[in-house]
Structure 1
């Protein structure tokens, strides 16, 4: 897997452009299709008190909201062409303080691996013991941690190998969704009583009693978790060939395919499983497989594991770029701005993400982490959409190969504000207040380390030691005028 690349004498030492259109599609679909579609349907219907019709509406609207946000990201990504995703446009739109707070939040409060890898382990075990027995929590967490370490090692050795593996895993993802969708629809056509009951009573008053705006917002948190990852190409923009064309095309093409597949999968679930079964099942896809595939039911947990593994492989690639971009701007210690001298990968940043990934795996419950992630994501999506409007005012002459209609970022901002505020009022989660407290602490740390230029004693010695230990060096980089 090692990718030993010689550098020409006059060649700049920096991240390489090796990701084309299909590589971008593979990365986006792998980042989006992971554990979410195999765990979130239960969370969505549970949030809306078992209403099948309202649950399906949530999934459709989630796709529409993502499409609106994706159009905003396409304008930002094609215009800025810089890795780091929202970090780059936040710095331009809001200034260094907000960009710093954002990157600190993404680095230290990214709970994604704590969700996805635990789902992988749960499905892996359920494939052997079935859904009637609960998998040991300690074993799930140990397996998740070992897998995180393995994926990080792979990502530290070769970007090209990661992209190739993503293409293979993407096939597995679509196979799992195809089996669920087609299997469920065939049962529905043949008159499955559960499916007929779900469709006939989808919007009855009985199933919608007691559903509040806060419940709907939490359902969106669960649904949007399955769509998370649609903006990943903005995070690695510097590594995309012909970024002005390939970034928006790959993002929108991937989003269209995934949205259609999610609708098909949910129809498949509701064609076979009752609302109560979906709300209580520890592994929805396995419950589906037990009813539809019989002795071949093992195929579903196997393909789900492939899907989740591919998702975490791709997101591991992306998470390592966030500390890297922040560090080369001076917002994190210099060691995190360095890449391996042979493999051109940000090894120190990848290791940093492993540390916090293990913490969330060991400490976090999956449903709790999904709601926590939703709160942070909606905040970021809203600020990103607003940055489109701000940058058009502050930098009207910036080249924009793609321009989103002005009403789209405005509507996105309104929706995001609702999804952030409503759960805090009606369904407060302790993580919401932890996140707000972290925002405050990151502001204080910015004042101490960025404004007052405080430094930790012995940092130069530690940096030199780690640089030699990990065989990393600083990249050639010309900072943009802000």
Structure 2
């Protein structure tokens, strides 16, 4: 079950020294922190506050509780990821974790669901929101345009294609973009916090009305119920999503054993505090009703402060989304890349460009699927569907920590989580996996279950030897030559045999 031997095809194109290429270890601790911040701080903090407040029945204090609980859940989940990432030093995050803890089948199923639904859904949501904000920056609201929605999608797709090209041709530039956008995102949120603090000091009437404990509507809080509270937590966790980002690129970290725990400890609490302060700042300017009715809370915030702040907020959101898109593309394409090496996907996906040393086949595949999903019109449904798929498999991942401790007690573990905390994380994740099906079923969830059945049948066919994922056939060889890609090798991976 833990066999990680990789067989390279003899027919593959090789470099001049006839050796497979290796992913370069070029990401240090600081750049790793920027990767996590860049992925965590995305469209969520600008689009989710209204959703959280809606599920909380407009109760401000309850919404703050939700954001705080979401931050705690993200932190304990991230600690479990830190143990897995520093122990299983292999790229791919959840795909590798599942493969080396609970076995091939969960890893296979998650890889295919992530490839065909979860990751493209996340990128499609970012493309859609980016296009909407870019349209607001470039065109005035009263500007007549034959099809504004089509223009929004064109803007978002155009930027996305540029990001795809950068990730294929220049990984170092992609990492630099992460650093720049991480600082830009933090600066934008700090600006919102500072404006909120000034409002709190100079004109605190609205802030006191919104934030006072006396204004806590206990009746509405009671009516929120377990379903509303759970769905509000679900929404907040979209904003916190991304704490595992660095484990997607473990093989590109300079010192993963040391870096991963440090990155987790520094970034998740930082983002949690940042989010709480930003939500307070929003409510020093906006009423709960205005927050609920806004699709772009940051823009509404700017409109109430000053026209120039509105433009600044829209530009900041665009930079934030570009950074998140870049990071999401950088990390999500490592999953099919690693799955190809496990034999769970066509081996062609595990190859890297001979010149740029980037997993270009995996990047092109994920990007193409994301573009197909841009046609979906509901950002919220895309977000919740992605969360549903992730949480369902994270239950097995966190439970796999205990299984791995039992079956491999002597395995070197640079970082370990307190056992009761692992159990608590597993139970919370199990509950969150059930939430959408129980309280807000959507066609996309049913589609996810249908895909799960299809991929289970596919795994059965592979297990019986009736279907083969590995090997370079004629089509694969043509694509390999066309894209100039070669097999990769693993270096210093954990020995599970």
Give the TM-score range, shorter chain: over 0.9
Match of 2:249 in 1: 236
Aligned to 1:357, what secondary structure does the other structure show?
A: helix
Q: Give the Cα–Cα distance (whole angstroms) in 2 for the partners of residues 272 and 207 of structure 1.
A: 23
User: Once the 2 structures are TM-superposed, how far is the Cα of residue 12 of structure 1 from its aligned partner?
Assistant: 5.8
1:72-97 alpha-carbon deviations (Å, 9 max, x no partner): 11111101110010111211221111
User: Once the 2 structures are TM-superposed, how far is the Cα of residue 294 of structure 1 from its aligned partner?
Assistant: 3.2
Match of 2:483 in 1: 470
Match of 2:3 in 1: none
Match of 2:158 in 1: 146
Are 2:132 and 1:122 equivalent residues in the alignment?
yes
Are 2:283 and 1:270 equivalent residues in the alignment?
yes
CA contact (8 A) 1:218 1:371 kept: no
Instruction: Name the CA shift for 1:8/1:334 in 2 (closer, same or farther; >3 Å).
Output: closer
Are 2:349 and 1:339 equivalent residues in the alignment?
no
Q: CA RMSD in A?
A: 2.3
1:222-245 alpha-carbon deviations (Å, 9 max, x no partner): 111111111011111111011100
Instruction: Name the CA shift for 1:476/1:453 in 2 (closer, same or farther; >3 Å).
Output: farther
Instruction: Name the CA shift for 1:125/1:209 in 2 (closer, same or farther; >3 Å).
Output: farther
CA contact (8 A) 2:134 2:156 kept: no
User: Once the 2 structures are TM-superposed, how far is the Cα of residue 11 of structure 1 from its aligned partner?
Assistant: 7.2
CA contact (8 A) 1:67 1:255 kept: yes
1:15-64 alpha-carbon deviations (Å, 9 max, x no partner): 11000011101111001111111101111111111111111111111110
Q: Give the Cα–Cα distance (whole angstroms) in 1 for the partners of residues 466 and 416 of structure 2.
A: 39
- Name whichever of 417-426 and 459-468 sits farther off: 417-426
Aligned to 1:211, what secondary structure does the other structure show?
A: helix
Match of 2:178 among 145, 162, 166: 166
Match of 2:58 among 44, 47, 50: 50
Instruction: Name the CA shift for 1:128/1:193 in 2 (closer, same or farther; >3 Å).
Output: farther
Match of 1:419 in 2: 432
User: Once the 2 structures are TM-superposed, how far is the Cα of residue 255 of structure 1 from its aligned partner?
Assistant: 1.1
Are 2:304 and 1:291 equivalent residues in the alignment?
yes
User: Once the 2 structures are TM-superposed, how far is the Cα of residue 190 of structure 1 from its aligned partner?
Assistant: 2.2
Count of residues paired in the alignment = 477
CA contact (8 A) 1:35 1:307 kept: yes
CA contact (8 A) 2:102 2:396 kept: no
User: Once the 2 structures are TM-superposed, how far is the Cα of residue 202 of structure 1 from its aligned partner?
Assistant: 4.6
1:327-379 alpha-carbon deviations (Å, 9 max, x no partner): 11111112111100011000000010011101221224211111112212222
CA contact (8 A) 2:100 2:496 kept: no
Match of 2:327 in 1: 314
Instruction: Name the CA shift for 1:194/1:381 in 2 (closer, same or farther; >3 Å).
Output: farther
Match of 1:3 in 2: none
Aligned to 1:343, what secondary structure does the other structure show?
A: coil
Are 2:34 and 1:26 equivalent residues in the alignment?
yes
Are 2:42 and 1:15 equivalent residues in the alignment?
no
User: Once the 2 structures are TM-superposed, how far is the Cα of residue 302 of structure 1 from its aligned partner?
Assistant: 0.6
CA contact (8 A) 1:221 1:375 kept: no
User: Once the 2 structures are TM-superposed, how far is the Cα of residue 185 of structure 1 from its aligned partner?
Assistant: 2.3
Structure 2 counterparts to residues 24-423 of structure 1, below 5 A = 24-109=32-117, 110=119, 111-127=121-137, 136-200=148-212, 202-423=215-436
CA contact (8 A) 1:82 1:88 kept: yes
Q: Give the Cα–Cα distance (whole angstroms) in 1 for the partners of residues 73 and 140 of structure 2.
A: 36
Instruction: Name the CA shift for 1:126/1:193 in 2 (closer, same or farther; >3 Å).
Output: farther
- Name whichever of 157-166 and 283-292 sits farther off: 157-166
CA contact (8 A) 2:340 2:346 kept: yes
User: Once the 2 structures are TM-superposed, how far is the Cα of residue 70 of structure 1 from its aligned partner?
Assistant: 0.7
Q: Give the Cα–Cα distance (whole angstroms) in 1 for the partners of residues 356 and 302 of structure 2.
A: 42
Q: Give the Cα–Cα distance (whole angstroms) in 1 for the partners of residues 151 and 223 of structure 2.
A: 38
Deviation >6 Å, runs of 4+: 130-135
1:136-180 alpha-carbon deviations (Å, 9 max, x no partner): 322222222222221111000122111111111111101110111
What is the TM-score with the length of structure 2 in the denominator?
Answer: 0.91
- Name whichever of 361-370 and 185-194 sits farther off: 185-194
CA contact (8 A) 1:113 1:312 kept: yes
Instruction: Name the CA shift for 1:131/1:166 in 2 (closer, same or farther; >3 Å).
Output: same
CA contact (8 A) 2:164 2:367 kept: yes
- Name whichever of 219-228 and 123-132 sits farther off: 123-132
User: Once the 2 structures are TM-superposed, how far is the Cα of residue 8 of structure 1 from its aligned partner?
Assistant: 8.9
CA contact (8 A) 1:285 1:300 kept: yes
Q: Give the Cα–Cα distance (whole angstroms) in 2 for the partners of residues 63 and 7 of structure 1.
A: 46
Structure 2, unaligned runs of 5 or more: 1-13
